[in-house]
Structure 1
Amino acid sequence: MLYRFAGALVACVAAPSLAAAPASIAGRWKTDDGKGIVMMTPCGARMCGHIDRLLIKQPAGGQLDERNPDKAKRGRQVTGLRIYWDLAPDGDGWKGEGYSPEDGRYYKAYLRAKGDKMTMKGCVAVFCRTVTWTRVG
């Protein structure tokens, strides 16, 4: 009995501590407001997200990034725009950077997927907002 206990103890000490990897966020996600589809994909060793498609009526020539704080970027198309980058595993989710073309704000992003839902918490300074997106095929 002592030998089994000692063997188990050695196995626990010798085994590296493996934290569970967060659920995958790869794929297409419909935004909480139903205005668009965001595609989450690997970009190097991390994850990124871009606007795959807008589901709202767009002006002639397409929706532009009109509220970007950088005036030089206000003429770029919103469709195809990278809005998440540098997302790395962090506990049971992903942590990185985000951008909202709706209000032109950059923020710290925290994403966590569970089944067909993904919650995103975006924080600017101490002010945070959380939304839930739904996986689409």
Structure 2
Amino acid sequence: MTLARFAAFAAPAPALALAVLGAGPSTAEAPQASIAGDWKTEDGKSVIRLYPCGDAFCGRIQRFLVAEPAGGARDTKNPDADKRDRKLKGLRIFWDLAPDGDDFEGRGYSPEDGRYFRAQVKREGAKLRVRGCVAVFCKTQVWTKA
């Protein structure tokens, strides 16, 4: 291949590279707000800590804001009988919360009724919108920064 032919072949490459680079995410986009931290649940009964775990976020019951029964609150409504005696304080109730657009999506567990659900979490300033869905039934709560 002659130098002239090589130059003619290679000339479009910078334009193509610029086009490909221009198709990526804009650096002017606002970064996604972190969901990490301690969040007070809507009912005011507990504080949930959301923290990075692997490439996603997890959440656990950090503390209770109401009195626990003697010996600590237990996971009595868990569908797995072997887990019904485990303590709720420190229990992981969210996992695999991965960024998906403006929110985080993953899995959750509600010890209040022993149900696992699809979770969607979105930071809105000092509030966190938490949505849980089982089949087609969904419930949304708004948590505040603790």
Identify the TM-score tier after normalising by the shorter chain: 0.7 to 0.9
Kindly name which structure, 1 or 2, has the bigger radius of gyration based on alpha carbons: 2
Identity across the alignment (%)? 52
1:79 to 74, 89, 92: 89
Query: Partners in 2 of 1:29 and 1:16 — Cα distance?
Result: 37
Higher relative contact order (CA 8 A, sep 6+): 1
Q: After the TM superposition, which of the residue ranges 14-23 and 66-75 deviates more from structure 2?
A: 14-23
Q: Residues of 1 paired with 2:113 and 2:90: CA distance?
A: 17
In structure 2, distance between residues paired with 1:57 and 1:104: 21
Instruction: Specify which of 100, 106, 119 is matched with residue 90 of structure 1.
Output: 100
The alignment's C-alpha RMSD in Å is 2.1
Cα shift at 1:120: 0.6
Q: TM-score, normalized by length of structure 2?
A: 0.82
Aligned pair count reads: 130
- 1:17 aligned to 2:17? no
Match of 1:5?
Answer: none
What TM-score, normalized to structure 1? 0.88
Q: Are 2:113 and 1:103 aligned?
A: yes
For residues 86 and 41 of structure 2, what CA distance do their matches in structure 1 show?
Answer: 21
In the TM superposition, 1:31-110 aligns within 5 A as 31-110=41-120
What is the distance in 2 between the residues matched to 1:63 and 1:133? 21
1:28 aligns with 2:38: yes
Does 11-20 or 59-68 show the bigger shift? 11-20
Shift of 1:78: 0.3
Counterpart CA distance in 1 for 2:115 and 2:32 is 26
2:19 and 2:40 map into 1 onto residues whose CA distance is 43
What is aligned with 1:131? 141
Deviation digits for residues 108-136 of structure 1 (CA, Å, limit 9, x no counterpart): 00000011100011000000000000012
Superposed structure 1 runs of 4+ greater than 3 Å apart = 10-13
Distance of 1:31 and 1:17 partners within structure 2: 37
Taking the aligned partners of 2:121 and 2:19, their CA distance within structure 1 comes to 31
Would the aligned equivalents of 1:22 and 1:94 in 2 still touch at CA under 8 Å? no
Quote the Cα distance in structure 1 between the aligned partners of 2:19 and 2:88: 51
Structure 1: which 5+ runs fail to align? 1-9
Partner Cα separation in structure 2 for residue 98 and residue 60 of structure 1:
26
Deviation at 1:45, TM superposition (A): 1.0
